[in-house]
Amino acid sequence: MNVLIVGSGGREHALAWKIAQSPRVERVFVAPGNAGTAADAENVDISTDDFPALIKFAQENEVGLTVVGPEAPLAAGIVDVFQDAGLRVFGPNAAAAELEGSKVFCKDLLRDADVASGEYQTFEDVDEAVMFLEEREDVPVVVKADGLAAGKGVIVCSCRDEALAAVEKIARQKAYGDAGNRILIEERLDGQEASVLAITDGQTLVMLQPAQDHKPAYDGDTGPNTGGMGAYCPAPLMDDEMLHWVEEKVLVPTIHAMKRARRPFSGVLYAGLMITNQGPKVLEYNVRFGDPECQPLLFRLKTDLVDVLEATVDGRLDQLDPLEWDPRPSVCVVMASEGYPNSYEKGRPIRGLDEAAKLADTKVFHAGTGLLNGQVVNTGGRVLNVTAMGDNIARAKLAAYTAVKCIRWDGAWCRKDISDKALF
Ligand code: AMP
Ligand code: GLY
């Protein structure tokens, strides 16, 4: 069977790398891919929003399974059009992808399903939102654009003035476009964050190991928010008992609520959780593998991922054997371009990848890379996802940073403290 992966980041490289290991897979295509997927699979020059071209490619190249990485094509209905064309595709349809595509839909569903999450109010009228903030006590809140904003439409505020500025930016100036037509003002929760991902066919849940992302740009969780500067897995703050609680009290009720809403969910259900003093509360749902969480997760997965993805698409996850994991933890360090998360220069040659490739238990997944005259160059803000395993977290961290040291380009940087939260 041939497999098509839609997307071009580190998550898609990890998916391509893992899927290519399946004995049942002949060719792995990635559309549009990056320099890393070009080496481990075959790139196809079709963008993630050109559904007709993707369908045509799948039909002409005996693609037996398509796996969609990012949220935008899912929310735009790529699964619906593939299914209409009779093609097998992994991911939720547009109706189910609303769980990520609309934060208002998500919060309302969580409330109906009685799942723990922060208090919130929804506004369509900017003046009403302003009045709400001015009339209530000056407490920390989070202002969120309802729609997809490439991970940027969330502003965490410590006081009323910041919240008012956030409402202006999102809802009046429309800094994230139509995503800000509706906004949420949400109670700010305190604690550590954890990512719990599960794969579901709408009936059966298969839990993945808990992971932790590092969203702020700089060490010690300081600086601006990013798409994620590193991740590790498993995250010890989420012990087995808590993970079981999340499955029973968060994920299962969500799956049932989606069914009741006539939006049965199939694909990756990813709960972004805040571990508060009162226990885990849902910050948001994503409807896809996390990036970068996917990289350290798949690095440890021993089970053939294609078996899991196919069982999901075919609605027979209940027949799947339990997942097998490498017991060793993994750490993924994101190497970024100078200037990220703001503007940065592209096209800088990257050196040392061959040296890093020789290290045991290490894999450099590519995120924002491309080929320019045969040379690997940076094309994005998050450039490489250096992933390694070790006998314990400290050793996995050391292994990842040993590989990082092999790699050089002008302006390359990374956080130096990925996984430290697991050690204290
Ligand atoms: P989201 O896109 O909803 O995951 O939000 C992005 C980030 O904003 C999260 O990873 C949290 O760090 C932060 N965040 C979102 N909602 C809240 C909340 N209610 N309280 C505190 N932080 C939040
Ligand atoms: N790691 C955060 C995300 O994938 O949204």
Radius of gyration of the chain (CA): 21
- Identify whether the C-beta of residue 49 lies closer than 8 Å to the C-beta of residue 72: yes
The C-alpha atoms of residue 193 and residue 283 are separated, in whole angstroms, by 9
Counting beta carbons within 10 angstroms of the beta carbon of residue 162, is it exposed (0 to 12), middle (13 to 18) or buried (19 or more)? middle
273: CB partners within 8 A, 6+ apart? 193, 194, 195, 196, 238, 246, 250, 280, 281, 282, 283
Mean pLDDT, rounded, for 182-190: 94
- Tell me which residues have their CB closer than 6 angstroms to ligand 2: 151, 213, 228, 286, 290-291, 293
| Nearest residue by C-alpha to atom 5 in ligand 2 | 290
18-73, pLDDT tens digit by residue? 999 999 999 999 999 999 999 999 999 999 999 999 999 999 999 999 999 999 99
In this predicted structure, the answer to whether residue 172 has a pLDDT above a threshold of 90 is no
Task: Tell me the ligand closest to 7's alpha carbon.
Answer: 2
Question: Residue 197 C-alpha to ligand 1 middle, in angstroms?
Answer: 17
| Nearest residue by C-alpha to atom 3 in ligand 2 | 290
Mean pLDDT, rounded, for 239-260: 97
- Identify whether the C-beta of residue 407 lies closer than 8 Å to the C-beta of residue 337: no
Amino acid identity, position 150? A
| Nearest residue by C-alpha to atom 16 in ligand 1 | 283
Q: How confident is the model at residue 304 (pLDDT cuts 50, 70, 90)?
A: very high
pLDDT value of residue 173: 86
What does residue 78 show for φ and ψ, rounded to 5 degrees?
A: -60, -35
- Identify whether the C-beta of residue 336 lies closer than 8 Å to the C-beta of residue 407: no
Q: Residue 12: CB within 6 Å of ligand 1?
A: no
The C-alpha atoms of residue 119 and residue 139 are separated, in whole angstroms, by 12
Mean pLDDT, rounded, for 237-266: 97
What does residue 410 show for φ and ψ, rounded to 5 degrees?
A: -60, 115
Cis peptide before 292 (omega within 30 of 0): yes
CA distances from 421 to 230, 234, 235, 351 (A): 12, 12, 9, 30
For the CA of 118, the closest atom of ligand 1 is 19
Q: Residue 85: CB within 6 Å of ligand 1?
A: no
The C-alpha atoms of residue 261 and residue 257 are separated, in whole angstroms, by 6
Cis peptide before 92 (omega within 30 of 0): no
pLDDT value of residue 152: 78
> Can you list the positions of beta strands (E) in 246-307?
267-276, 279-286
Report the SS3 class of residue 409: coil
* 123: alpha, beta or left? (left if phi > 0; alpha if psi -120 to 50): beta
- Identify whether the C-beta of residue 30 lies closer than 8 Å to the C-beta of residue 44: yes
pLDDT value of residue 137: 84
In this predicted structure, the answer to whether residue 424 has a pLDDT above a threshold of 70 is no
Helix (H) or strand (E) holding 210: none
DSSP class of residue 368 equals: S
What percent of the chain lies above the pLDDT cut of 90? 87
Six token digits for residue 195: 């990512």
For the CA of 190, the closest atom of ligand 1 is 21
CA distances from 271 to 106, 144, 194, 286, 335 (A): 11, 17, 8, 6, 25
DSSP class of residue 319 equals: G
pLDDT value of residue 126: 86
For the CA of 292, the closest atom of ligand 2 is 1
pLDDT value of residue 283: 96
Q: Residue 71: CB within 6 Å of ligand 1?
A: no
Six token digits for residue 94: 């547009």
122-168, pLDDT tens digit by residue? 999 888 888 899 898 878 999 999 998 877 788 899 999 999 999 88
321-353, pLDDT tens digit by residue? 999 999 999 999 999 999 999 999 999 999 999
What does residue 322 show for φ and ψ, rounded to 5 degrees?
A: -55, 145
Buried b (16+ CB within 10 A) or exposed e, 213-227: bbbbbeeeeeeeebb
pLDDT value of residue 58: 98
- Identify whether the C-beta of residue 232 lies closer than 8 Å to the C-beta of residue 334: no
What percent of the chain lies above the pLDDT cut of 70? 100
Q: Going from the N-terminus, what domains does the chain have, and what CATH number goes with each? A: 2-95 (3.40.50.20), 125-181 (3.30.1490), 192-319 (3.30.470.20), 330-422 (3.90.600.10)
216-242, pLDDT tens digit by residue? 999 999 998 888 999 999 999 999 999
Report the SS3 class of residue 286: strand
Question: Residue 115 C-alpha to ligand 1 middle, in angstroms?
Answer: 16
User: Most distant CA pair in the chain: distance in Å?
Assistant: 62
Helix (H) or strand (E) holding 141: strand 141-145
Mean pLDDT, rounded, for 182-204: 95
In this predicted structure, the answer to whether residue 423 has a pLDDT above a threshold of 90 is no
For residue 423, the tally of other CB atoms under 10 A from its CB is 11
pLDDT value of residue 228: 94
